[in-house]
């Protein structure tokens, strides 16, 4: 068991997060134009705030639009993508209205991204040590920087700086990118897209501890994307649950785990191996697939929801609540 195993909601807002909103996303939509296939609406109507020092988790199954949100915020989507929003405010600026040059000034310095696929973010033909110098300069030789890198298990990388990235494991490269993103320019917002998915439990715990440490010392805000509810429970203050490109529930970590509202959130929790005990019998699984979830009408979860009726397939549920805590579900609305 890792030394960082916390109870869900231990990392509560108010304990670390301030009231200052660092990032305010309003009505974000991402569409990919049709290539040979049909156009895809990957994200729609997504609104959330992230406060200073807060870790905001984004959870949802594969294809639900998590990476599209991160890449849209960084303005790093392919040309085929169209991004629309009422606003994406960061530090008093609307990120979507900035020029490319202004955005380059923010990317990597004020907002950092740890991308989902580490291999595509490092040059394959340049030794790792040289790439580290691009980011850290000569401070890579400082004992503080080396200590920080060693603390997240990068001793072996530091001992082989003349090797190319291909000579390291995916987990080592992923940790290297986290170190570069957080330790070099000290950004105020980190977008971490599945940053520990390729790591074993021990190293994952070291990395999560490093991130929480940086959050505490710098007041760093983190958008933490994961499909792993166990990790989300350990690190996040609040969580947004994505389904079919929509946020269907936003809640504090404690509320999400102890009082889930949306049927999809409940299904996700029911399918969590860590919550399974032999007495419970078979681990529950979610019937059907998410195919077609990004259709325009109705609740995206309706085709798989045991509680759905005609209204759910025809009418998109309204947001119940606000940006801090909300759910989109006709059944929950009718019950309140
Ligand atoms: N460059 C692209 N061109 C066309 N469609 C894309 C592109 N990138 C993503 N998509 C589509 O957008 C939807 C959301 O993808 P996205 O990568 O944001 O999901 P995700 O939640 O990050 O999934 P995963 O958990 O697998 O990383 C998917 O249907 C995907 O096929
Ligand atoms: Mg992704």
**pLDDT of amino acid 9:** 45
Are 196 and 204 in contact, with CB atoms under 8 Å apart?
yes
Question: What six digits make up the tokens of 281?
Answer: 């019998």
Instruction: Give me the CATH topology for the region 1-110+185-336.
Output: Rossmann fold (3.40.50)
Asked whether 80 lines ligand 1 (CB < 6 A), one says yes
Distance 280 CA to ligand 2 centre (A): 31
pLDDT band at 72 (very low <50, low <70, confident <90, very high): very high
CA gap 297, 78 in Å, rounded: 27
Average pLDDT, the chain: 86
Average of pLDDT values for 39-43?
92
> Of the ligands numbered here, which is closest to the C-alpha atom of 60?
1
Asked whether 62 lines ligand 1 (CB < 6 A), one says yes
Domain boundaries, the chain: 1-110+185-336
**pLDDT of amino acid 3:** 39
The share of the chain scoring above pLDDT 70, in percent, equals: 88
Higher-confidence residue of 282 and 65: namely 65
**pLDDT of amino acid 148:** 78
pLDDT band at 311 (very low <50, low <70, confident <90, very high): very high
| Torsion 10-13-15-21 (CA) sign | positive
CA gap 217, 32 in Å, rounded: 38
**pLDDT of amino acid 35:** 73
Which H or E run includes 134?
Answer: helix 128-136
Of 167-176, 223-232, 259-268, 327-336, minimum mean pLDDT range: 167-176
Distance 41 CA to ligand 1 centre (A): 10
> How does pLDDT run across 135-188, given as a tens digit for each residue?
888 877 888 778 878 887 788 888 898 999 999 887 788 888 888 888 788 899
Number of Cβ within 10 Å of residue 165's Cβ equals: 21
| Torsion 95-99-100-105 (CA) sign | negative
CA distance from start to end of the chain: 40
Are 328 and 317 in contact, with CB atoms under 8 Å apart?
yes
Q: Ligand 1 pocket test: which of 29, 31, 60, 63 has the largest number of ligand atoms within 8 Å of its C-beta?
A: 63
Average of pLDDT values for 29-50?
89
Strand bridging mode 246-252 / 238-243: antiparallel
């Amino acid at each position: 068991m890792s030394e960082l195993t916390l109870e869900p909601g231990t990392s509560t807002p108010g304990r670390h997060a301030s009231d200052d909103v660092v990032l305010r996303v309003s009505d974000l939509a991402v569409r990919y134009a049709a290539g040979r296939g049909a156009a895809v609406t990957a994200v729609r109507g997504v609104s959330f705030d992230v406060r200073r020092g807060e870790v905001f988790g984004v959870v949802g199954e594969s294809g639900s639009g998590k990476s599209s949100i991160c890449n849209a915020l960084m303005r790093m989507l392919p040309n085929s993508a169209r991004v629309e929003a009422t606003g994406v405010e960061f530090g008093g600026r609307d990120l979507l209205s900035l020029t490319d040059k202004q955005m380059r000034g923010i990317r990597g310095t004020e907002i950092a991204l740890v991308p989902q696929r580490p291999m595509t973010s490092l040059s394959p033909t340049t030794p790792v040590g040289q790439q580290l110098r691009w980011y850290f300069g000569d401070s890579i030789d400082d004992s503080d920087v080396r200590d920080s890198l060693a603390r997240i298990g990068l001793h072996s990388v530091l001992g082989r700086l003349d090797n190319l990235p291909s000579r390291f494991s995916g987990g080592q490269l992923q940790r290297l990118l986290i170190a570069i993103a957080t330790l070099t320019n000290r950004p105020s917002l980190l977008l971490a897209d599945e940053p520990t998915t390729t790591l074993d439990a021990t190293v994952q715990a070291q990395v999560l501890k490093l991130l929480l440490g940086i959050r505490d010392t710098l007041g760093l805000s983190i958008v933490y994307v994961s499909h792993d509810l166990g990790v989300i429970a350990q690190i996040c203050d609040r969580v947004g649950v994505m389904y079919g490109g929509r946020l269907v529930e936003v809640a504090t970590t404690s509320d999400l785990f102890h009082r889930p509202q949306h049927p999809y959130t409940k299904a996700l929790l029911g399918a969590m191996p860590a919550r399974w005990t032999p007495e419970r019998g078979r681990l529950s699984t979610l019937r059907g697939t998410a195919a077609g979830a990004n259709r325009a009408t109705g609740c995206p979860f309706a085709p798989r929801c045991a509680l759905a009726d005609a209204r759910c397939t025809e009418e998109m549920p309204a947001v119940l609540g606000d940006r801090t805590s909300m759910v989109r579900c006709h059944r929950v609305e009718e019950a309140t």
